[in-house]
Chain A
Amino acid sequence: MAELAVPKTEAVRKRPFLNQRRREALTGYLFASPWLFGFLALTLGPMLFSLYVSFTSYDIANPPHWIGLQNYQFIFQHDSDFTKALGNTLWYVTFKTPVVIVTSLFLAILMNQKVPGIKYYRTIFYMPTVITGVAAIFLWVWLLSPFGLVNNILGALHLPQQEWFLNPQYAKTGMIIMGTWYIGAPMLILLAGLNSIPRHLYEAAMIDGAGILRRFWNITLPMLSPTLFFIILTNVIGAFQVFNSAYVISTTAGGAGAQPGDPEKSLLFYEVYLYKYFGLSQMGYASALAWILFIVVLAITATQLYLSRRWVYYEGG
C-alpha cells in the first residue's frame, strides 16, 4: 500500500488547481474519514433517529407509530420507577464523585512525596483499574457477602457488620466501597498535575512563611484545578452511566430469582431501569428515557462548565 502512495502524489502534483494546500486538505479529510463517517453513521444519525423514535411506539418488528409526547407524559406522570431510578443515580453520583476525588487526590499527594518505591505503589494502586470485568464484580460480591472478608475484618475490629448488597440501605454504599478500588486513573492524572506545578512557587511561599495547609490551599489547589475539573467532569458523566456493576451485583448477590436493581430496587440505577424496556423491545419508551438522561447529563455538564469559570485557574488565560 505504501508503494502506491508515491506515484499518486506525483500525478496529483502536476494538476495546477490542486495546489499544495488543497492537496493537504484532501488528504486530511481522507485520513479523518473513518471518524467522520463513524460520527455520522454511529453517533449523530442514531441520535436523531432515537429522538424521533422517542415520540413513537416502536418494537423494531413493526414500523414506528407516532404517539407524540405520550412516552414522556407516561414517564413523568405514571412511572414511579423513573423517579426511583433517577433518585438512586443522583445519590450515587453525589456521593461517589467526592469519595473518588478525595481518595485519589490524597493518594496522589502521598505519592508525590520523596519516598522510595513509588513505582511499586503506582503499580499496586493502578492495577484494579484494569480488572473491571464480571470476575472483579463477583470478587466484590464475595468480599461484601454477609460471611465475606470485609465483614470478617469489621468484626475483628469490633465495628458493625452489614449485609451490604443484600440490604437496600447499604447496597449503594457497598458499590461506593467497591468504587474506591478504581481510583487508578484519576490518581495518575492528578500525580502528573502535581508534578507539573513549578517548585519555585512553593519555595517562594515558604520564604513568605506560608504553612503546609496554606500552601495546599493557595498553590496546590489552584494549580491543580484544571486537572480536578477534568476528573470531576468525566467522573460525574461516568457515574450517571453505571450499569455493569449494578446489573451483575443485583442478579448475583440476591441469588436465584433476584431482579436487576434488587434488593428492593436500591440498585435500580437509570441504565438498569432503561435496560428493562430495551429487553421488552419497547424502543420508543427506552429512547425517551435515554434522551431524558442525555438532557440531564448535558445540563449538569453545561452547569459545571459555566461554574468552572469561578474556580478553575488557567495559567496565562
Chain B
Amino acid sequence: MTAAAPDAPQTVSWYRTQSGAELLQRVATLAILSILALAFIVPVIWMVISSLKPIQTVFDNSWLPPMTSQGWPVPIPHPQYFSNFSDAMTLVPFGTYFKNTLIVTVFSVAGSVLSSSLVAYSFARLRWPGRDFFFVLVLATMLLPGIVTFIPQFIIFSKIGWVDTFLPLIVPTWFGNAFYIFLLRQFYRGIPQELAEAARIDGAGEFRIWWQIVMPLARPALAAVGIFAFTGAWEDYFGPLIYVGGDPNNWTLQLGLKAFETAAGGGSPLWNLIMAAGLVVMIPVLVAFFIGQKYFIEGVTLTGLKG
C-alpha cells in the first residue's frame, strides 16, 4: 500500500556509518525524538496514574504509587486501585451509554464502509459522463465547513421526527463520506485491472466484480476506513449533543462522560474519578488503534498523495 521510496535505505545497522559526525547526528536525533516521545506519552500515563489515586492524593502531583502505612507501595491487585473505576461506573448509567454508542458505531461503520466503497468504485473504475466533475465536487465538500449544512439538516430531521433517535447519526453515513471515497478511490486505482477484466469476460456484472473481486483485494484500505469511521462515531460529541442530547436514555458515552463530569465536578472536581471514567470510554479506541495502527498509518498516508 505504501509506495516504496525510489531508493529505499539499505538494511545496515544504524550505528555502522562512515563518519563520526554522522553517528553523532543520529544519536542527537534519537535523543530529541525520545524526549518528544516522552512528552507525548506522559499525558496518557498521567491519566492512568490519576485514575488510580484516592481523592486525597490526586492533587499532590506524585508519580509514586499509593503507600501503605508501613511505607511500602500498595501491591497492584488491591481493591484500592479499582474502587475509582467501580465508583465512576455506578455514578451514572454507563451501561446504557455504552449500548447506545455501540448501536450508533456499528451502523455508522457499516454504512461508511459499504457506501463509500461502492461510490469509490464508480469513481475509480467506471466511466460515465460528468464523473470527473463530480469527483472534484466530492473533494470540494471536504473543504466545506459543516456548520453551513448542520442547521438545515437539523430542521429536516426534526420535521421528519428523527430528533431524539439515532437515525440522524446513522443514516447520513450510508451516503458515502468524501474523505473515505477519496481514500478508497486512490486505492482502487492501484488494483490491477486484469482480474476484473477476466471476470467481465466471464460475464460477471460490475456489482459482482466490486463485491467479489475488488472488495477482498481492498481489505487494507477498507480496514483503514472502518477504523476511521469507528473512532469517528465513538468519539463524536457534536452529533449526539444536537440529536440525542435531549433524552438521557439515548445518550452516548461522550454525552454521558460530560454529564458524569458535572455530577463528579462542581466546585472541586473529583479528577481521579473523571480520569477513571475517561479511561474506560477511551480504551476501545486505544485497543482499536494498537490493533489496527498499520491501517491508520497507511490510510492517513494515502490521503496525502496527489490524486
Interface residues of chain A, those whose CB is within 8 Å of chain B, are 1-2, 5-6, 8-10, 21, 24-32, 34-39, 41-43, 45-47, 49-50, 53, 60, 107, 110-111, 113-116, 120-128, 130-136, 138-140, 142-143, 145, 147-149, 152, 181, 184-185, 188-193, 195-196, 198-200, 226-227, 230, 233-234, 237, 240-241, 243-244, 248, 252, 255-256, 271, 274, 278, 283, 286-287, 290-291, 293-294, 297, 301
Provide the residues of chain A in CB contact with B7, threshold 8 Å: 198-200
Query: By the criterion CB–CB under 8 Å, are B43 and A140 in contact?
Result: yes
- What is the size category of the interface that chain B forms with chain A? 35 or more
Query: By the criterion CB–CB under 8 Å, are A34 and B174 in contact?
Result: yes
Cα A271 to Cα B254 in complex, Å, equals 19
Provide the residues of chain B in CB contact with A291, threshold 8 Å: 148
Provide the residues of chain B in CB contact with A35, threshold 8 Å: 115, 119, 134, 138, 175-176, 181
Query: By the criterion CB–CB under 8 Å, are A31 and B126 in contact?
Result: yes
Q: What is the distance, in angstroms, from B236's C-beta to the closest C-beta of chain A?
A: 8
Answer whether A38 and B176 are a contact pair too, CB < 8 Å, given A131-B286, A293-B148: yes
Answer whether A1 and B9 are a contact pair too, CB < 8 Å, given A24-B126, A290-B148: no
Q: What is the distance, in angstroms, from A281's C-beta to the closest C-beta of chain B?
A: 10
Cα A303 to Cα B238 in complex, Å, equals 29
Query: By the criterion CB–CB under 8 Å, are B32 and A256 in contact?
Result: no
Provide the residues of chain B in CB contact with A30, threshold 8 Å: 122
Query: By the criterion CB–CB under 8 Å, are B40 and A128 in contact?
Result: yes
Provide the residues of chain A in CB contact with B274, threshold 8 Å: 138, 142
Query: Which residues of B (256-278) have their CB < 8 Å from a CB of A?
Result: 257-258, 261, 265-267, 269, 271, 274-275, 277-278
Answer whether A25 and B258 are a contact pair too, CB < 8 Å, given A114-B26, A199-B7: no
Provide the residues of chain A in CB contact with B20, threshold 8 Å: none
Provide the residues of chain B in CB contact with A237, threshold 8 Å: 143, 145
Cα A152 to Cα B207 in complex, Å, equals 60
Query: Which residues of B (1-42) have their CB < 8 Å from a CB of A?
Result: 2-3, 5-7, 9, 14, 25-26, 29-30, 32-33, 36-37, 40-42
Question: Is B305 an interface residue when CB atoms closer than 8 A count as contact?
Answer: yes
1/0 per residue B228-257: CB within 8 Å of A? 000100110110001000000000011001
Cα A252 to Cα B271 in complex, Å, equals 11
Question: Is B216 an interface residue when CB atoms closer than 8 A count as contact?
Answer: no
Closest to A252 in B: B261
Q: Which segment, of B68-76, B78-86, B296-304, faces chain A?
A: B296-304
Answer whether A34 and B115 are a contact pair too, CB < 8 Å, given A27-B126, A123-B293, A290-B151: yes
Closest to B34 in A: A121
Provide the residues of chain A in CB contact with B149, threshold 8 Å: 42-43, 46-47, 50
Our pick among A2, A21, A122, A190 for the contact of B297 (Cβ within 8 Å) is: A122
Given A255-B266, A255-B269, 8 further pairs, Cβ under 8 A: A27-B126, A30-B122, A34-B175, A39-B141, A127-B286, A138-B275, A244-B237, A294-B144
Question: Is B222 an interface residue when CB atoms closer than 8 A count as contact?
Answer: no
The contact sample of 6 A-B pairs, CB cut-off 8 A, is A31-B206, A46-B153, A135-B281, A138-B274, A196-B6, A243-B238
Query: By the criterion CB–CB under 8 Å, are B212 and A2 in contact?
Result: yes
* Cβ-closest 4 pairs across A and B: A38-B175, A28-B128, A135-B278, A189-B304
Question: Is B201 an interface residue when CB atoms closer than 8 A count as contact?
Answer: no
Question: Is B158 an interface residue when CB atoms closer than 8 A count as contact?
Answer: yes
Number of A-B contacts (CB under 8 A): 298
Query: By the criterion CB–CB under 8 Å, are B122 and A132 in contact?
Result: no
Answer whether A9 and B172 are a contact pair too, CB < 8 Å, given A34-B119, A189-B301: no
Answer whether A147 and B59 are a contact pair too, CB < 8 Å, given A134-B258, A252-B265: yes
Q: What is the distance, in angstroms, from A305's C-beta to the closest C-beta of chain B?
A: 10
Q: What is the distance, in angstroms, from B259's C-beta to the closest C-beta of chain A?
A: 10
Q: What is the distance, in angstroms, from A160's C-beta to the closest C-beta of chain B?
A: 17
Cα A9 to Cα B42 in complex, Å, equals 59
Provide the residues of chain A in CB contact with B141, threshold 8 Å: 39, 43
Q: What is the distance, in angstroms, from A135's C-beta to the closest C-beta of chain B?
A: 3
Question: Is B161 an interface residue when CB atoms closer than 8 A count as contact?
Answer: no
Cα A152 to Cα B285 in complex, Å, equals 29
Query: Which residues of B (116-143) have their CB < 8 Å from a CB of A?
Result: 118-119, 121-123, 126-129, 131, 134, 137-138, 141-143
Provide the residues of chain A in CB contact with B36, threshold 8 Å: 107, 110, 125
Q: What is the distance, in angstroms, from B34's C-beta to the closest C-beta of chain A?
A: 8
Q: What is the distance, in angstroms, from A52's C-beta to the closest C-beta of chain B?
A: 9
Query: By the criterion CB–CB under 8 Å, are B148 and A32 in contact?
Result: no
Provide the residues of chain B in CB contact with A230, threshold 8 Å: 304
Query: By the criterion CB–CB under 8 Å, are B145 and A294 in contact?
Result: yes
Q: What is the distance, in angstroms, from B307's C-beta to the closest C-beta of chain A?
A: 11
Query: Which residues of B (93-133) have their CB < 8 Å from a CB of A?
Result: 115, 118-119, 121-123, 126-129, 131
Answer whether A125 and B303 are a contact pair too, CB < 8 Å, given A47-B148, A138-B274: no
Query: By the criterion CB–CB under 8 Å, are A28 and B237 in contact?
Result: no
Provide the residues of chain A in CB contact with B207, threshold 8 Å: 1-2, 5, 27
